[in-house]
Structure 1
């Protein structure tokens, strides 16, 4: 990387592939667990143990891959526009106040409400 360049994040295609790979790994694991449990509990069925287990694993992997790929593309880690960043800072500052500041703000709001009612 040259001096002065800003490092770039992954492209949309790279995010899609990464999410699909992670989903496939999770789906294969979950499919193995639930498929094994199903085979041990109810038997392998007419097709046998290996085809039944592979069907559980592949269907689970496809489902998880699809949803994690979409989720990883939708997720945005880029910088927010200035007006969104300002509103985010405004709302997070109120959540990070001390107890004394929160109590003082609550009392001030109560006073305002009492004045409006009168």
Structure 2
């Protein structure tokens, strides 16, 4: 996911800086399209590489640590999906108690 986000950001930044460079200094001997594509691809590769490393480092913890973090975290900070799952579990337990 980090590589895809980095590539998207890199393509955008490469387009902006490449276009500015072409407008300011001219296209050069290879032409405008080739120069712009080189800016975009090199920027996308660089951003994608660094963001993929960052996402690997961030998600390198074992799943047990994530489960313990969720159990010990404040309920107000949990996501909406966690809250909805807890609410549905409570409703189903209440329905079971009422039916008995």
TM bucket, shorter chain? 0.5 to 0.7
Match of 1:63 in 2: 46
- For the aligned residues, what is the CA RMSD? 1.7
Question: C-alpha displacement at 1:50, in angstroms?
Answer: 0.2
Pair 1:43-2:26 in alignment: yes
Q: Choose 1 or 2 for highest CA Rg.
A: 1
* Distance across 1 between alignment mates of 2:28 and 2:16: 17
Give 5+ residue unaligned stretches, structure 2.
69-100
More helix by share: 2
Question: C-alpha displacement at 1:74, in angstroms?
Answer: 0.2
From 28, 34, 45, the equivalent of 2:11 is: 28
Query: How many residue pairs are counted as aligned between the two chains?
Result: 64
* Distance across 2 between alignment mates of 1:75 and 1:44: 40
* Distance across 2 between alignment mates of 1:72 and 1:26: 15
Give 5+ residue unaligned stretches, structure 1.
1-17, 83-118
Pair 1:74-2:57 in alignment: yes
Deviations 1:25-81 (A, max 9, x none): 00000000000000000000000000000000000000000000000010147637x
Deviations 1:12-31 (A, max 9, x none): xxxxxx11100000000000
* Distance across 1 between alignment mates of 2:56 and 2:14: 24
